[in-house]
Amino acid sequence: KNEVEQSPQNLTAQEGEFITINCSYSVGISALHWLQQHPGGGIVSLFMLSSGKKKHGRLIATINIQEKHSSLHITASHPRDSAVYICAVRGRSQGNLIFGKGTKLSVKP
Amino acid sequence: NAGVTQTPKFRVLKTGQSMTLLCAQDMNHEYMYWYRQDPGMGLRLIHYSVGEGTTAKGEVPDGYNVSRLKKQNFLLGLESAAPSQTSVYFCASGHPGWEAFFGQGTRLTVV
């Protein structure tokens, strides 16, 4: 079983829809990252969380440490949000990131 | 401020050839990482460095070597490339507890 599981694997939405991507992990963590990867492009860090909730523009990330679960929400989705969204956790006992396989989001106009 | 820069961006190698991928960061980060990204899999750590002159193995180190002679540079070497090393390689820098900064990736094909 992977230490970091994301769902769904693929997601297609209509422009304007509210989107949720989920991440569950099985290890104790010191931090959780949400990353964005555009087709053919590099990887950009969106959020780093260790508790609670963070918001940046139309993006909201939440984490529940007790449940070992995080969600990434996108409000009023737009075609430019189409990308792969990756969840990664930093274990308490090691400094390296453990990555999920990513969620491929496609937002149709 | 360039952030993390990887060179080259694309490369095609023949089996058995060698090459070096360069990662340069201008943020004075202590930690640097090399990952590979393959279809259907999450990013996997190849090697990492926690400071100038230090390197350590990650999850998939076989077939790769690294060096960190200068704090700002982290080199990934393939001594004898194999088709199984066809992948997209990402370099990242940062520090545990900080944001992770990634390069744009190097797409390597070994034929």
Write down the residue that tokens 């340069």 correspond to.
Answer: B24
Model pLDDT, residue A42: 87
Question: pLDDT tens digits, residue range B10-23?
Answer: 999 999 999 999 99
Q: Inform me whether the pLDDT recorded for A60 exceeds 70.
A: yes
Q: What residues of chain B lie within 8 A of the CB of A2, using their CB?
A: 42
* Distance from C-alpha of A89 to C-alpha of B64, rounded to nearest angstrom: 24
Mean pLDDT across B9-36: 96
Alpha-carbon gap, residue A19 to B87, rounded angstroms: 30
Whether pLDDT at B2 is above 90: no
As a whole number of angstroms, the distance between CA A53 and CA B109 comes to: 40
What is the C-alpha to C-alpha distance for residues A58 and A87, in angstroms, rounded to an integer? Answer: 18
- Does residue B98 carry a pLDDT above 80? no
The 10s digit of each residue's pLDDT in B56-94 is: 999 999 999 999 999 999 999 999 999 999 999 999 998
| Chain-chain contact of A4 with B42 (C-beta, under 8 angstroms) | yes
Per CB-CB distance under 8 Å, the chain A contacts of B33 are: 96-97
pLDDT reported for residue B97: 67
